[in-house]
A and B are shown apart, each in its own frame.
Chain A
């Protein structure tokens, strides 16, 4: 039940983002100074912002931007994390020790705070925020993958493949990778909500997406000074974040329930 509800939400938002130009009634960036801060109307279903831009169109294009950047960031983090984890677990010994100390160190910081530090070096901007968060987020996956690799290391099919003379690359790609992938794929959607939080939070703080980009966090921050007179400017972007993150959380929760056979809504099992 939970999983399908989550899937419906996410698929709709993905479709909204993918086909944003078809769904959006207006351009997300076109200014119309004659229609500033208006309430809902036929031309502007959710009203307009302080520059007369269509709020609904900005939310719809925001789905593209917010979801797109979160998915990309998660992909980068997954690729780095899985590669390092595989390498560390497979090679073992000194390299493993070294890589795992780097992981320990990365996880020793609250992730948003370490991302803030990296952004302060790179400078504000959406790309830099994505890089910064990916550079923090990979560590959790690296530790997880490394643990999984070590767990299956002694299994018979691994020994058999080795005995047949499989090289390191073949071992990693054909034997280790497919066997560690499923638990990772269960955790990944749960985690995208976290990535959306982080990126939109950074944009809200003025360190991620910059105006006039239609990113939900940045839109909230733009609407914030006006929110006593035009509450719809902060209501809808926030609602969009809430529903999307909820969608991912429901999918993740559903997957966990399926695997354990019990309901266990709890804090995400990962380092902060």
Chain B
């Protein structure tokens, strides 16, 4: 067990270093000389001499691995440099925006879990009946509906026409409902279908027949015996769901003017504020890789038969 965990962690280190290298190179590839940008910001005419002395001061003329090492050391201390646009610390901006995104993704995740469990269980109980068919249709729509359009539809229906929820922004509990539904809907209905498929498979196994023979109630069989086994396949797609949430947040935050890091990234791209983009990418990829690791380890804990195959 521990060797599995250790190996998995060991794989993570070079992968994360690779991610950091990409983020580092990204800023090297951006147009514009950081020294010149800094000088202009200070209101100093960027003469060749001034540029050269600043470049030396900033260490921009050192070998690439020295610059990378220096940058990495700063990143580990959560220093992501300063924003080109505001001149403020990027870390500050990120941590100001991050809670909104975490809030949105957690509520969306909760919504996914609740909806997937209830639709999945009900579809299993009503296999091949009306509710099951509705579940299938919902899943097909959920996999095909673009998030930005769903968001606009929900705003039009529930905010503009019915006036139940605020149109956009983040100023209280009612503000999160529509964005969270928009973000979670697709994953919720497809996960529900996945659960239904895996549950119906489990229900055909022998140990379920034994449980039935013991005279256990249908609810108890479903919840205590079938569900824990039926949930396993869903766990493997958890990483995928998270990727969806992170990428989806970019779009949903834009539609609902939700002040999270996804919207921050889009603003930064449109304004060419590269240090912000760099920090955003590094952060999301780190979260993504880390959660995928947790999913793998969790899966292994629940199902010890899984071995780390030679990748």
Contacts and interface: CB of A to CB of B under 8 A. Distances in A.
Interface of A: 100-101, 104-105, 108-114, 116-117, 119-121, 124, 193, 197, 200-201, 204-207, 217, 220, 224, 227-228, 231, 234, 237-238, 241-243, 245-246, 249-250, 253, 263-268, 270-272
Interface in B101-117: none
23 contacts: A105-B19, A108-B285, A110-B284, A111-B247, A112-B250, A113-B265, A116-B265, A117-B26, A120-B269, A201-B147, A206-B270, A220-B149, A220-B152, A224-B152, A238-B149, A241-B149, A242-B141, A245-B143, A249-B144, A265-B143, A266-B197, A266-B237, A267-B191
A116 B254 CA distance: 14
A224 B274 CA distance: 28
A243 B145 CA distance: 8
A266 B194 contact: yes
Interface string B212-248: 0000000000000000000000000101111110110
Interface of B: 14-15, 18-19, 22, 26, 29-30, 136, 139-141, 143-149, 152-153, 155-156, 160, 187, 190-191, 193-194, 197, 237, 239-244, 246-247, 250-251, 254, 265-266, 268-270, 272, 274, 277, 281, 284-285, 288-289, 311
Contacts of A272: 239-240, 242-244, 247
Contacts of A105: 15, 18-19, 22
Nearest to B31: A121
A241 B193 contact: no
Contacts of B193: 265-266
B82 to A, nearest CB: 18
B152 A234 contact: yes
Contacts of B187: 267
Contact of B266 (A205, A227, A270): A205
Contact of B251 (A205, A234, A245, A270): A205
Contact of A267 (B147, B190, B254): B190
| Interface SS of A by simple majority | helix
A204 B148 contact: yes
Contacts of A111: 243, 247
A246 B141 CA distance: 7
Given A104-B15, A245-B146, A249-B144, A207 B269 contact: yes
B152 A205 contact: no
Contacts of A112: 247, 250
Contacts of B268: 120
A242 B243 contact: no
A116 B269 CA distance: 8
A105 B281 CA distance: 13
A10 to B, nearest CB: 12
Contacts of B145: 242, 245
B160 A228 contact: yes
Nearest to A118: B26
B252 to A, nearest CB: 11
Given A231-B156, A265-B139, A266-B197, A119 B269 contact: yes
Which of A109, A110, A117, A207 is most buried by chain B, counting CB atoms within 10 A of its CB?
Answer: A110
A265 B190 contact: yes
B19 A109 contact: yes
B288 A108 contact: yes
Contacts of B15: 104-105, 108
A264 B160 CA distance: 38
Contacts of B281: 109, 113-114, 117
Given A201-B146, A231-B156, A109 B285 contact: yes
B118 to A, nearest CB: 17
Given A116-B250, A266-B197, A267-B240, A110 B190 contact: no
B254 A205 contact: yes
B247 A245 contact: no
B237 A267 contact: yes
Given A109-B284, A110-B284, A234-B152, A117 B146 contact: no
Nearest to B233: A266
A30 B22 CA distance: 44
Nearest to B21: A105
A124 B271 CA distance: 11
Contacts of B247: 110-113, 272
A228 B187 CA distance: 28
Contact of A264 (B19, B197, B285): B197
Contacts of A228: 156, 160
Interface centre among B141, B145, B247 (most CB of A within 10 A): B247
Nearest to A247: B144
A228 B254 CA distance: 17
Q: Which of A105, A200, A224, A249 has the most CB of B within 10 A?
A: A105
B152 A238 contact: yes
B215 to A, nearest CB: 31
Nearest to B26: A117
A58 B109 CA distance: 37
